[in-house]
Every structure is written in structure tokens, then in C-alpha cells.
A and B are shown apart, each in its own frame.
Chain A
């Protein structure tokens, strides 16, 4: 309804900086948008912690949506407690909370000064990247629940979900970093001690020379046995899959270099090439590490458990009691509070449900449910409390089934990259050349054979290819990340480029889920009538009624009599002597029109139909342009769980060949994707809600749209900030460029190799030159890839 609200003069809330729309609280000569915000301020002020506001302005998060009193009562449950706690002894407990509201330095400061608000807190430490706060508290003084409520009271309501019950913290694997460090250290010093040889150390200092050589040998061991193991394992894995990935030739090169170097040094015939060996290992590891930089603050693996509350209130012979989600059984009676998710399919046994399925099914409007009707898990109750009788266990629920399909679509990334295909041919050719050289020299001059062969193998190491690939990926990932498109891993770049068909979800993806644009069509209404209608609408808490009431503006002092509400149909009542009715076409006109369009509300005054209010989805900015641009290059499709209200509009946007499907159940969406894939299409699915989860999984690449910083997105290959969606086409272009860059770099490196090999096979290329050539070529490759990828980045205006 923001359409009507934003007037320039609305004061900003001192706490959260939002406009104070409904009410302006004025206290401590400051404005607050809601009691919540004011309360936070009071707490901080009382404890002399107003630095919170000086560190950055309006640091708070809006508290308009009240948090239920006993929301965290489940934390009193010992079983749940113990499953959440990281560590505990008799004097202190360690807990780690996920607080998505955390966003600025003030948050950091406040969250690390909790001990000044609550004596029981011993210390609190923020991990800003993970948006987690690790709290140590003395359970003799305070309790887990108290701590959670403290956080809530200052505006950082911890997000505790069903998935925390498993409490398996994902720790990042740092072994690569160690390997990198070791390789770096050895590389630097080996280089240091190899230079004297290159720089022509005097023959009179032979003793030094030998010292250097053996020191190098010694230093190279950790690189060979530890750092390089990264590649051994990966090569071995792929070999077991009867597949030759890029690491195989790398390993060969490393081994050959090492073996030959050891031989040379022990036999005193040369200095070996440990510098190039360790250098290559170092750079390739660096590439891997960079490329695998993961966005720890995001989770690409969310399943439904992340959305479900960890515990719910169960009515046990009239007594509410907290139970952990897994303990819910059939025929339990659950008490569902306002704004709470329905954890399991059930039948309403008490109260009137107004359930918002937008997240589950994509329907933009909440649906009324009467006692006796079935409600599905995942819907969110808005309004008064209701009670439901569980008819399916959580794991069996309609929605959770979606996730069980997961298994079918497991993509093992390693193998798919075109890099590996390239390297396969590369390797085959390389080995044949080596073999040829060997035989040739064997018959001409056997003494030179090994020299030539090893030189070939060393100089032809495809490290350049791997380097260019990893570093380009890393750079592209970085750029996309800066534009708030976060990819699960490097492979996704290629998938992004490869997709040849784009499927959109409507609600929440193309449109902003929440807001609706409302227009009135029909006979003009007098101010008087307008207010009357508003007054009537104000009686109902159906979102459409609310919208109309807001549109009508001030409606006080209107006498209403005989108000009746027919759920799902409409309302009527007598305002200032006129009988006014609002509702569906059928309710008002008694005529069965074709598609009973739920997004149209008719109005009649004294039985006379005046006109209707039309509700339209509010499309995100610049989306139409995006769709038109994409329609030129890709077959597009919109698969919506919502009604067909938007069909006409979308059709003219996307053109006639575009596929438009409405009223799609999540399962249907998944099927639709399958169907497209069956036609040999590589499908890119872009959606936001749980209802898209299955489809996102099924698609060759699923991009989840995330509205705000607390990214509750379904499992997907990529997460995109809603505001950045219009850049989608440019993102795709960039990822296509990625392949170009790598290929270009590869061609160049092949040229290097060809030159090198031509000399090597003739045995004129001394392995030393080869060893120098290799790192040089690799490093030049790095610069090329970096430069090119940046160039494309600029070209597609992605900073």
C-alpha cells in the first residue's frame, strides 16, 4: 500500500530510520515509528549505551512486527536447549545465534556489549561474515531463553529453526590454506637458493652450490608430498571414475619434474627444477583457494527445516506445552500463533484461519480457511490464533515432499567443466608426443632420450590452462559477488553461460510479493461514498479490504450497522443509511462470470453496482525491459502458482512463443522444467519461494531471488539480490565471456607449449630453460586472464 503513504514530511524513526507512517511516537525529543523501536532506545539509554546511535545513524531494525511474549518459551525445554548449545559446563554455556538483522558497525558494537545489558552474559563475540553472535553466559544467573529474549528486545531476534536441531556446524576446510602457506614458504626459499645457479655462481664456490641444491631438495619435499597432494587426490578420484581430468597431466608433470630434479642433484649433474615445481604448485593452489572462496553468510543448501520453527505449542488436555518439531505426532492439537508457520498438514479445529501461502505456492493473496478445512504445512497464519489437528507428520507433509525429490538431480561439478574435456585431448596428444620423442631418441641417441622426454613433459605441463581457468573463475565470481549475484561454485559460471531457456516464477520474483497496485474502475465515487466504502472495508481484516480502507483514507465517525462478512466472497453493511457491499463478482452481481478473478473486488451501493477495484501485482523496477531484452535471445517462460490475472500483460511482454502457466502447484512447476529439459533444453529457473524449490533443484541452474539481507532462499545454485535482477542478461554475458577468456588463455599457453616442445623434442631445449619457461608462461597467462576478465566486466558495466 506504499502507493498512498509516502509523503515527504513523514519523520524518520530515530532507531530504525524508517518512515513513521501509521503513528509517530515522540519521546526523548526523538521520533519513533513504533513502540518496539522506542523500547530498544529506552533500554540502551538506561544502560548508557547510546553510542549505538552515534556509531552509525539509525542503526536499528524496525520493530513494527511485534514478537510474541512467550515465543522463546521452547528454550526452557532442556532437550531443545542441549541440542542448540555448543558447549556447557557448570559455570558457563556457549551458544551461537544467527541474527540476520545484523548489518552495521553499531550492531557489532551493541552485540559485543551484551554483558552490560545482562550481567549473566560473560562475553559475546560477533562473526560479521556469518551474521552469528557467539554468546557465553552463566546459566546460574540467566538462561538461554532470557538471552534470546534479550537479543529480541534490542531488535536482534535470533533466528532459530528446525535445522538447528541437528546442530552440525559447517566448518570451512582450511587444509588448502595450509598447503598454500607451506608451498609459498618453500617456493620463496627454493627460489632464493636457485637464483645463484641461474645467476652464474662462481665455480670456485662449489661447496655453496651443493649446499643450495641439497637445501632445495630438502625444501621441495613438503611441497611434493604435502602441498601437491591436493592434485593427486583429485586426479585419482577422476581416474576412478574412468575419467581423465585436468589434474592428471599436472600430476605427471610434477612427478617428472621432481624425479628428474632429485636424480640430477643426487648424481651431481645439475641443479634440478624445484623452483618451477614448487612455484607451479603454489600458483595452482592459490588459484584453487581463490576460486573456492565461498560466501559463508549464504546457504545454498537450505531445506524446509530451515523455515520451520524448532518447536511449536501443543495443546495437551487444554494445557499449552512446547514440543520440538520431530515430536509432533498424528492427531496432536497444535496452537498456531499469528505470523507463525504451520509445521504440518492439519485440520482447523478452532479459530478462523487467514493463511498466507505466497511463499509456498506463490499465490499473492492470503486465503480464508474455516474450521474443518485442511491447511497445508508451510502456510503462515496471519491474524488470531488457531488450533489445528495434525493429520500428517512433518516429514510426510505436502510441502516437505518437494525436498525429497532432491536425490534425483545430483550434479557432480568436477567432471562437467569443458576444461577437463580440453585437458583430456591435451593429455593424449602430450603423451603421444612424449612417446614419439622417446622412441626417436632411443634409436638416434639413447643418451639424450630421457633428457628430451622429461623436457617435453615438463614444458608441456597444462598448468597454464588450469591457472587461467581458476583465476578467471575467481575473478568473475568476485565481480558477480560485488553485484550481489552469489554463485555456489565456479562450475555455475559455465552453467549460467550454457543455459538456453529461462523460466521465471512470477510472485516474489518478477513482482514484489508484498505490494499490490490498486485501481478503481467504474462510476466516479463522491468523497462521501468513498469514506463510506472505506469505513465498511475497515471492518474486515481481509488484505483486500485493508487495501481499500487505506485507499479511502480517514474513515472515523462512520456509523455501521448490520455488518456481515461472507468468507471468501465479500462483506456488506449499512453505512450512513446506505447498504454497501464489497466482494467478488458473483457475490455482488449474482452473475457467474467466466474466470472468477480473485484480484477484482466489486462494489455496490444500494444494490447498484458502481464498479470494481482492480488489484495488480507490482512488478519490480526495470523488469519489463529485462524481459523484453531476454525475449530476443532466449525462449522464456513464466510458471506461476498465482491465478491468471496477469496473463494478458505478461503475454504482450514476452511475446507469443513464450510459455505462460498459472495456478501451478510446486510439483507442476518441477514437471514443467522436466518437460523442457526433455526437449533438450538447458533450463535456467529463477524463483524465490519454497514453491519453486523443486523446480530450482531440477533446473540446470536455479537462481534464487532474495529480497533482503536475511537470505531465506530455497536450495539453489545461485542467490541473486532482488534489486539486481534487471542485470540478469549482463550477468549471463559476463559468464559467457568467462569461457572465451579461458579458451584464449589456453590457446596462448598451447602456443607456448608448442614452441617449447618443438625445441624439446629436438633435445636442444635444456630442461633448465624449460623449467624457467614454464613459470614465466604461466604467470603471463595470469595477467592475460585477469586483464581480459576485467575488461569484460567493464564492458558489461558490472563494477
Chain B
């Protein structure tokens, strides 16, 4: 009579599982498409919405927030209920959470393809969606903490700690990084400018990896690995230490994404130091995972689920070792901006996240459908195809990255650069092809899984509400007669929730901070001036088409880069850049000093047909820019937004802005006409040219910049 009967909610788990699979396929397809475009530019079908610059964010967002995101929720909703011996707090919340999240994903996909992006990697979604995410995340939090509160098991298993950490930190990161000022329904500018924006962005960017792709999955690993192997984790104490150590170090590794950039040295080194420190806890976790299977390798041999997990954990180990290595300045000098980074992240994504997700799917689906997996053999096939896929993906990319970096830095005996940028690209195209092959294989494996799971689902029937029973938590002291024992239990998670909200609130308060942020933006290089309205439009097009995804705007202080692109970048140059556009990958050359390098007509033709200007170029054609017109109605709003961000346009400039814009546009139009190119002054191409011709020219005005940084 004391025992409480209750039911686990498997329906939500099922929904999230399905979503995981669907979005996984979508995200991977997107990835495959853009990987092909790299050596087959025509594969963009001449449409904006299928062009690399727009599909790439869809790929990253779909994989991270849709595939892995739903994977996380699947794992959490399944394990949390069982770890707490309680149904999720509220079914409606679960429902809203699920559908809300899917809605966000869909709208994200649509808006990104439509070209609405903040231009900050992994945070591309525009402000309305950012708000939606915050809301749904809070609902999820309520649902999770509520469940923890009404749990029937006094001990919080280590996995739950990882989930809590995920929720709190992601909330904070998202809010801090998403400060932006909207100037239209779907568009906004980042609060921060240039260097500061970069720092915040990569502080976020790194932790998005840390707390969205790692901590929740570690929690999931700590639950599902022991379950699948049916043996307790190797060392529970180690897992606890693992958690607390990770929590206190991870936050600060961010800046290592900005080594050799215009970010102050001390901030860069800070990132390095903390990244190195991360090896310890990360490997603690990995070894704990692998040792759990010691003595059970015979099981691994026949159980595909364990196979997936072993590879996943190994990949985690590799990635977490490589990461700190990459954050060493001298390694980073080579790896950064190349495909090495791509390889690194995909070892993590395909191996750690992907494979662990598959393992969990293979484990959960039969459980909740109360039937054995349709075919172990198929699962094993999936495993081998997938593993082969990862290998075929990673190795060529490492190779490509290293080769290209070497070629970039190659000088002739006479001291001139040995290779044109384009040569370094064409040289590694075969590797790009192999990469696509790897991706294709991996995707094929996923389809095998889809078939296998459909068959399984057909065979079984959903155990929507799984019966369970457990005694309620005793309300009075059990051990060491602490009278207030239960009040601790109940009060603390609430308190944590409150505190976490406080942390979020702090984020809100900080919206007042920008005032002093802007103060710190006082021009340190006298000659650096705000963008003209036309250039601003051009810049927005640059962001919209995702140029930053292939072109960096950051010349690092290396001999080869200075020789290739020109004067290295100074922090002071970017104070009007909302958002910064430093980029993280050079599929095309750096554009930090593109201004004035070529005539307007060159840019015009290059956009129309890149290969005509630089034969063999892999850049797609952006013909539509020649026809589409810019929306000058938005100009005043843009100017006003910039003014609130402290960009020193004269008072009331927003009124005059369009006049100024047309004047400049006409100058360019005429200039083009002189090269026998006829086009309207209001076309996107004009604005883009205006911007490109401006980029990086300010400091050329004066021979030597007096003050830097």
C-alpha cells in the first residue's frame, strides 16, 4: 500500500526519437549537398536557397540543434524519468517542448534558406527565433527540475548532474551571445562589435560545443552505457570527479578559436591554458566509459549497440585530445582556417554524437515498443558502413587541411609566394570528393538504420505508458538523523532553479552594459570610419549570402598571409562591425584587404561568373544579385540601429541616408558603365561592390597606424 504505482511517459521519448532520425537525415543531406558544391559549384542549381552560403548554416544548425538536440531530449526524457523514478512533471509541458522545438527548427531552416542570419556561426538564427528558443528552453527546464523535485529516488545519479549543467549553461550562453538590436521583423545587428563580438561569439561557440554536444551526451553515456552493457560504470567516484572538474574548467576555453587574431594576446593565451587543462577531465570521462566495458569485450563483439558506443567514446577521446592540441598556438597557426578544423569537428559530430545517438536509438526503440530489434545484422552493417564513412571523411580532411596550410606558407627561393590561393584549392579537390564519399556512406548507414527501426516499430506496439512502481521518498530523516534532511532535498533543486534564473537575469541586467561597451569602442585608429549606408546594405548582403563561411576577414601576422593579403588586421579596424565577419574557414581567400584590389567591373563579372575572372574557381555564381534590388526602405532603421549601438553617424543622418546611398550607388553604376556594364543603381550587386571596395581600406588612408589594439 505504501508503494506508489506510476507510469513512464514513452510517447514523448518516441516523438523525440523520430525527430532525431528525421532531422538527422535532413542535416546530413544538407551537408552532403554542400560538400558536393565545393568541387561542383553548379550543384547550387543557380538558386540562392540551395547555395553553399545559405545551406551550410542549415547543415550545422540541423545537425547540432535538430539532430543532436532532439537526441539529447530523447535521452533525457527516457533516462531522467527512470533515474528519478517519476513521470515527467507535466505531459502538456512535454508536448509543448517537443512541438515548440520542432517549430523552431522548421522556422530556422526556412529563415536561414531565405537568408535571414545574424552572421554568427552556430548562432545564426534571428532574434524572434532566439526568443522562441529561450522560452522553450525555460519550459524544458521547468519540466526537468519539476521531475527532479518529485523524484522517488533520493540520490541524483551523475547523469542528472550533467543534464542540469547543460540546461543552466546553455541558457546563459544563449542569452549572453544573443544580445542583438532588431531593426526589422527578421533582422538585427549584434550588440557587440568587432573584437568584442568575436570574443563573445567564440566564448559561446566553444561552449555550445562543450555544453550542447558534450555534457548532455556524457550524461547520456553514463546512463545508457551501463544499461547496454548491463554492468555498473567502472568507477562511480571518477564519474563524479569528472563532472565537477569539467564544470569548473570548460567555460573558459572559448578564446582558443581566436588565436593570432586581433584578440589581445592575454585573452588568447587564456583560452589555450584552459583548453589544455580540459584534457584531464575529458579523458577521465573517456577512460571511465571504456573501462566500464573491460571484461565485457565478448559482449561488444556480438552487440552492435556496444560497438557504436565504443567507437563513440573513442572518438570523444580523440576529439578532446586533439582540441587542446589545436589550441596550441603553433599548431593552430597551421590548422586554423583549413579543413583540419572540419575534420576535427566531424570526428566529434559523426563519431561521438552520431554514433552514441544511433546506439541509444537502437536501445530505446525496442524497449519502448516492447519488441526485439528487427535485425541485429543490419545494425552491425550500419556500424561498419558508418565507421568506414567516418574514416573516409576524417582522413582526407586532415590531409587536405595540412597540405593546404603547407602550400599557403610555401615560399619560392626568391621569397615570393609559391602558390596562388586557387592552386592550393584545386590541389585538394580529390580529397573533397573522397570526403563526400565518406559522408555518403555515413548517410547510407543512417538509411539502413531507418529501415531497421521502421521494421522494429512495425513489429512492436508502443508502450506509451510504461508501468513502474517505487516507494515514495521518506519524508523524515533516514540516516544520520538530520531532522531537516527532507527540506534539503526539496528546497535545493528549487533554489538551483531560482539561482539559475538569477544567472539568466544577470544576463538581462547586462543589457544595460552596452553603454559602457560602446565607450570602449572609441576609435583607436583615427582613420577608421563608419560604413556608408550603401556599404551597410552591401555588408548585410555579404552576411545574408553567408560569404563569411568561405572567406575570412582576418589577416594573421604571418609572413605568408601579409605577403598574400596585405597588412595584418588590427583590433581597431572592426569597431563598427556588427557583427564581426572574421570567419573561421578559408575555402576562398581572405577578404580583409579586398578593398580597392580589383576594379568594380571585376567584382561584377566575378559575381556573375566567377570562373570567367579566375579560371577553375570553385565559387558559385551569384547571378541573382544582378537582378535583385536592395530594400532602401530599411536604410533609416539600419542607421538608427547602428546609432543606438554607438556608431557615430551625425544626428538625423537616418533621414539623409538614402540620398547618400543613391549618390554612391550612381557613382558605381557610372563606373561600371565605363566598362560597358549596364545595371540599375539599386541592384544588390552595387551595394556589395561598394562594401567590398571599402573592406580594409580605412587604415590604408594613413601610411602607418599609430595606435593598434
Contacts and interface: CB of A to CB of B under 8 A. Distances in A.
Direct contact of A and B (CB under 8 A): yes
Of the four ranges (under 10, 10 to 19, 20 to 34, 35 or more), the interface on chain B belongs to 20 to 34
A119 B2 contact: yes
Nearest to B154: A125
A18 interface: no
Interface stretch (B203-211, B375-383, B418-426, B473-481): B473-481
Interface string B442-481: 0000000000000000000000000000011110111111
A124 to B, nearest CB: 8
Contact of A94 (B232, B471, B477): B477
Q: Which of B267, B270, B478 has the most CB of A within 10 A?
A: B478
B474 A192 contact: no
Contacts of A125: 154, 478
Nearest to A94: B478
B212 interface: no
Interface stretch (A197-205, A306-314, A397-405, A766-774): A197-205
A184 B3 CA distance: 42
B185 interface: no
A115 B476 contact: no
A583 to B, nearest CB: 55
A799 interface: no
A520 B2 CA distance: 62
Contacts of B89: none
A136 B269 contact: no
Given A115-B3, A134-B479, A201-B264, A192 B252 contact: yes
Interface string B1-27: 111000000000000000000000000
A134 B709 contact: no
Contact of B474 (A123, A185, A204): A123
A196 B249 contact: no
A252 to B, nearest CB: 29
A87 interface: yes
A169 B248 CA distance: 34
The main secondary structure of chain A at its interface with chain B is mixed
Interface residues of A, number: 34
A590 interface: no
A154 to B, nearest CB: 18
Contacts of B598: none
A138 B2 CA distance: 9
Interface string A134-158: 1010100000000000000000000
B273 interface: yes
A196 B474 CA distance: 50
Nearest to A169: B480
B673 interface: no
B1 A202 contact: no
A132 B1 CA distance: 24
Q: Which of B2, B244, B480 has the most CB of A within 10 A?
A: B2
Nearest to B248: A188
Contacts of B476: 87, 89, 92, 94, 136
Interface in B1-56: 1-3
A122 B471 contact: yes
Interface string B673-709: 0000000000000000000000000000000000001
Nearest to B252: A192
Contacts of A202: 264, 266, 709
A195 B479 contact: no
Interface in B241-286: 244, 248-249, 252, 264-267, 269-270, 273-274
A199 B265 CA distance: 7
A701 B53 CA distance: 76
A62 B472 CA distance: 33
A96 interface: yes
Contact of B269 (A119, A132, A169, A195): A195
A96 B471 contact: no
Contact of A123 (B248, B267, B471): B471
Contacts of B1: 119
Interface in B286-304: none
Interface string B473-512: 1101111110000000000000000000000000000000
B481 A87 contact: yes
Contacts of B478: 86, 94, 96, 125, 134, 136
Nearest to B709: A202
Given A87-B481, A192-B252, A199 B474 contact: no
B2 A196 contact: no
Given A115-B471, A123-B2, A87 B477 contact: yes
Contacts of B472: 122-123
B270 A199 contact: yes
Given A188-B249, A192-B270, A199-B265, A86 B154 contact: no
A88 to B, nearest CB: 9
A201 B263 CA distance: 11
B2 A121 contact: yes
A136 to B, nearest CB: 5
A10 to B, nearest CB: 29
Contacts of B480: 169, 171
A6 interface: no
B270 A94 contact: no
Contacts of A554: none
A698 to B, nearest CB: 34
A192 B273 CA distance: 9
B474 A200 contact: no
A86 B479 contact: yes
B709 A136 contact: no
Given A123-B2, A127-B479, A204-B709, A92 B474 contact: yes
B529 to A, nearest CB: 22
A200 B248 contact: no
Given A92-B474, A184-B248, A195-B270, A169 B479 contact: yes
Given A123-B472, A184-B248, A195-B273, A169 B264 contact: no
Contacts of B709: 202, 204
Contacts of A200: 265-266
Contacts of B269: 195, 199
A512 to B, nearest CB: 31
B481 A205 contact: no
Nearest to B251: A192
Interface string B148-188: 00000010000000000000000000000000000000000
B458 to A, nearest CB: 30
A256 B623 CA distance: 71
B266 A199 contact: yes
A185 B248 contact: yes
Nearest to B274: A192
A134 B474 CA distance: 11
B477 A196 contact: no
Contacts of B266: 195-196, 199-202
A86 B154 CA distance: 18
Nearest to A191: B273
A56 B249 CA distance: 40
B248 A96 contact: no
B277 to A, nearest CB: 9
A136 B474 CA distance: 7
Contacts of B474: 92, 94, 122-123, 136
Given A86-B478, A94-B476, 19 more contacts: A87-B476, A87-B477, A94-B478, A105-B232, A122-B2, A123-B474, A125-B478, A136-B471, A136-B474, A136-B478, A169-B480, A171-B480, A185-B248, A195-B269, A196-B266, A199-B266, A200-B265, A202-B264, A202-B709
Interface of B: 1-3, 154, 232, 244, 248-249, 252, 264-267, 269-270, 273-274, 471-474, 476-481, 709
11 contacts: A86-B479, A89-B476, A96-B479, A116-B3, A122-B472, A123-B474, A125-B478, A192-B270, A195-B269, A199-B270, A202-B264
7 closest pairs, A vs B, by CB? A123-B471, A199-B266, A122-B2, A171-B480, A199-B269, A196-B266, A201-B266
Interface of A: 86-87, 89, 92, 94, 96, 105, 115-116, 119, 121-125, 127, 132, 134, 136, 138, 169, 171, 184-185, 188, 192, 195-196, 199-202, 204-205
